[in-house]
Amino acid sequence: MRVPELLTVDRIACNAEAASKKRALEVLSGLIARTLGDGGAKGNPTPMEVFDSLMARERLGSTGVGHGVAIPHGRMKKGDRPVVAFARLKNGIDFDAVDREPVDLLVAMLVPESSTDDHLQLLAQLAEMFSRGEFRDSLRGAPDAESIYSVFQHWQTGH
């Protein structure tokens, strides 16, 4: 399973407005829950359930990994497959990142509670992707969600 296979154009926010970590996680939670559909009625998580999962992980320690990047992630009781969403913020925010730099690129991942191996493999892929300056620069320079999606897809085919 590869990260680009789990991301869709409608789970990408380009130049999103968020003045805080909480608001950025709300944006990502909305992208994930909205695109899964049914508002929790058929076993998919609600925006609040997604947010609670991401916040629970943040309470353990910031997922701000440096270079303006955060990788919030969590587990969900509902759902049967991992889900990825991405937000590029209009302005960087304090995310308690390891390098204390503002975060403007956020990729959120939710996995089913039983998917421990998938969770670790996907986190490793994300860490590798975002460790590369050219990848981060491409995301920051992309003009729209479709272009951002293409950057992720190129990673899959190019590496």
Residue 67 designated active-site: no
Q: What pLDDT does residue 156 have?
A: 58
CA-to-CA distance for 104 and 14, rounded, in angstroms? 10
Look at residue 42 in the predicted model and tell me its pLDDT.
54
Instruction: Describe the crossing of helices 47-60 and 21-36 by its angle, rounded to 10 degrees.
Output: 140
Q: How many CA atoms lie within 13 A of 29 on its CB side?
A: 23
Contact 32, 83 (CB under 8 A): yes
Q: Which of 73, 119, 154, 159 is catalytic?
A: 73
* pTM of the complete model: 0.91
Range of the domain at 13: 3-158
Q: pLDDT value at position 102?
A: 97
Q: How many domains does the chain have?
A: 1
Each residue's pLDDT expressed in tens, for the chain with a length of 159 residues: 888 899 999 999 999 999 999 999 999 999 998 877 644 445 678 889 999 999 999 999 999 999 999 999 998 887 778 899 999 999 999 999 999 999 999 999 998 887 778 788 899 999 999 999 999 999 999 999 999 999 999 885 444
Strand 69-70, strand 103-112: pairing: parallel
User: CA neighbours within 13 Å on the CB side: how many for 102?
Assistant: 11
CA nearest to 89, candidates 29, 140, 26: 140
CATH code, domain with 152: 3.40.930.10
